[in-house]
A and B are shown apart, each in its own frame.
Chain A
Amino acid sequence: MNIGILLKEGPYNHQASDTAFKFAEAAIKKGHHVDAVFLYNDGVTNVTKLMDPPQDDRNIAARWSELSQKHDVEILACIAASKRRGISDDVLVEGSVITGLGTLTDIAIRNERLVTFGD
Chain B
Amino acid sequence: MENENVKKIMHVLRHAPHGTIYTYEGLEMILIMAAYEQDLSVVFIGDGVYALKKGQDTSAIGTKGFSRTFMALDGYDVEKLYVDQFSLEERGLGEDDLIVQVEVMNSEKIGRLMKEQDVIIHH
Contacts and interface: CB of A to CB of B under 8 A. Distances in A.
A116 B121 contact: yes
A38 B118 CA distance: 17
DSSP majority for the A interface? helix
A88 to B, nearest CB: 18
B66 to A, nearest CB: 14
Contacts of A40: 25, 29
Contacts of A116: 120-122
B25 A81 contact: yes
Given A80-B25, A108-B7, 8 more contacts: A40-B25, A41-B21, A41-B25, A80-B28, A81-B25, A101-B29, A108-B38, A114-B119
Interface of A: 6, 40-41, 80-81, 100-102, 104-105, 108-109, 114, 116, 118
Nearest to A101: B32
Interface in B93-121: 118-121
Nearest to B5: A109
Given A6-B121, A114-B119, A109 B29 contact: no
Interface string B19-40: 0011001001100110110100
A109 to B, nearest CB: 5
B122 A118 contact: yes
